[in-house]
């Protein structure tokens, strides 16, 4: 488990990168801050495309960025999101595709921090949000 201070840092970073989201169609901005086991934080935001299917979620952007830099092991991710003009945000959980991407690189105890703001957050494990997940060990 990571410290409460690190959880707060991840949420703050997720809010910062959320501002960079490219969402001209849905206006639903999401930011993610992924903590590698090396202690480095990898940031990602969602990036939309007019054709929709080439769009990429914030969580996958962070994972792919980390993997492209050689990091394959992670401890936690903070995810924040909601409509760009919302006065208050609600919890924003990873989509099914993002859960499966996280499962590729993370164990069942990997922590997912969902936050409405820096003070209001809840932490779930990957196993809780992806029960009976299919991972690399299933192909061995």
Q: Which residues are catalytic?
A: 59
Give the residue carrying structure tokens 């007019």.
50
Token pair, residue 26, equals 């849905």
Q: Pairing between strand 74-83 and 111-115? A: parallel
Q: Which residues of 72-108 are buried (b: 16+ CB within 10 A; e: fewer)?
A: eebbbbbbbbbeeeeeebebbebeeebbebbbebbee
Token pair, residue 101, equals 């991407």
């Amino acid at each position: 488990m990571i410290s409460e201070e690190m959880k707060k840092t991840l949420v703050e970073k997720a809010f910062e990168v959320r501002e960079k989201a490219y969402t001209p169609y849905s206006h639903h901005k999401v930011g993610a801050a992924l903590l590698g086991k090396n202690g480095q934080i990898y940031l990602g935001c969602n990036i939309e495309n007019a054709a929709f299917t080439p769009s990429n979620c914030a969580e996958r952007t962070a994972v792919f960025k980390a993997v492209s830099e050689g990091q394959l092991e992670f401890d936690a991710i903070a995810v924040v999101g909601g409509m760009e003009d919302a006065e208050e945000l609600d919890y924003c959980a990873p989509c099914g595709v993002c859960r499966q991407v996280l499962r590729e690189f993370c164990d069942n105890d990997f922590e997912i921090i969902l936050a409405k703001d820096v003070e209001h957050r809840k932490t779930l494990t990957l196993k809780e949000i992806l029960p009976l997940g299919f991972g690399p060990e299933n192909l061995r």
